[in-house]
Amino acid sequence: MNVYWVEQTEADLPTDNDWLSANEAVFLNGMCFAKRRADWRLGRWTAKRALSATLDVPAHYQAFKKIELRPAPSGAPEVFFDNQPAAVTISLSHRAGIGACAVAMSSVEMGCDLEMIEPRSDAFVADYFTLEEQALVARASAADRDRLLALLWSGKESALKALRAGLRLDTRSVIVIPCATSFDRNGWNELRVRYTGSRYAEDRCAGDRNAGNQVFHGWWQHTDNIVRTVVAAPPPHSPVRLRIPVYVPDTASL
């Protein structure tokens, strides 16, 4: 299964909001906090850039207005084009002024996430990670600890999005298993995440003999100070970075 990946930054955003649908513009105008508005705009913009490329829609403001993300009852984003459901699955993430969108051209379970590599306390590890993950962190070198924690947390976020539950579920109900010895030429490394429905479980990268309620397969990548993860069921190929066309913001008709 192919998964397509697009990233945008706040510098890529248009200054106007002509590319939003009427409903999205109303929603944005009702948001009170500047950071929340900025993150929301970045997420919508990144999604529309990704969807215009995958749905073969012109990168034109009038076409972007027809692409609308609506929340499902779970809160997960669902895509509509010209008020009709689109047969795609997307997942969004934003961190430190960077937005990411993963797109699959079918109805699948999928989630993606971005995380900054930064110090995290021992209390954070004890509160949010399983005993197996805590042991993995304890074995890590001081130089690798922050990156490993960002990877584990990002994998959890991706899996919880794939489950369409987010942080409403206990983060200890998913166990992240990095498989750093298997990677593609673009630096994506294999990843496995198990949802157990309970606090503790066991797993090995070599197989699923001890499988719990559900296993997600996926990928992770580290560049600069950012960790990226994406997981899905059925298992996805490593993410394909989309080349996106130049956006046309003028008022010319399509």
Model confidence over 221-240: pLDDT tens digits? 999 899 999 999 999 999 99
Please write the tens of the pLDDT for every residue from 150-180: 999 999 999 999 999 888 899 999 999 998 6
Same domain, 226 and 121: yes
| Of 116, 55, 110, 111, nearest in space to 84 by CA | 55
With 0.85 as the threshold, say if the pTM is over it: yes
pLDDT of 180:
63
Whether 159 is covered by a domain: the verdict is yes
- Please indicate, yes or no, if residue 245 is contained in any of the structural domains: no
* Amino acid 107: pLDDT: 86
- Euclidean distance between CA atoms 76 and 162, whole angstroms: 9
- Structural domain contains residue 153: yes
* 127 and 207 fall within a common domain: yes
Domain end call among 108, 125, 159: 108
Are 133 and 145 in the same domain?
A: yes
- Shared domain for 23 and 121, answered yes or no, is no
Distance CA 145, CA 15 (A): 39
224 and 116 in a single domain? The answer is yes
Mean of all residue pLDDT scores within the chain? 90
Residue 221 lies in a domain: yes
Q: What's the order of all strands across the beta sheet hosting 89-95?
A: 89-95, 98-104, 4-9, 240-241
Q: What is the pLDDT of residue 181?
A: 59
62, 144: one domain:
no
User: Which structural domain range is residue 49 located in?
Assistant: 4-108
250 occurs within a structural domain: no
Indicate if 18 and 96 belong to the same structural domain: yes
| Domain-embedded: residue 102 | yes
**Chain segment 119-156, per-residue pLDDT in tens:** 999 999 999 999 999 999 999 999 999 999 999 999 99
pLDDT tens-digit map of 3-27: 999 999 999 999 999 999 999 999 9
User: Same domain for 174 and 101?
Assistant: no
Task: Report the CATH number that the domain containing residue 124 is assigned in CATH.
Answer: 3.90.470.20
Domain limit, last residue, from 63, 79, 108: 108
Question: What's the mean pLDDT in 182-196?
Answer: 83
Q: What is the mean pLDDT of residues 198-214?
A: 48
Same domain for 150 and 43?
no
Of 108, 127, 152, the position where a domain reaches its end is 108
Number of domains comprising the chain: 2
Q: Are residues 125 and 165 in the same domain?
A: yes
Mark whether 95 and 134 lie in a shared domain: no
pLDDT at 53: 94
Shared domain for 131 and 96, answered yes or no, is no
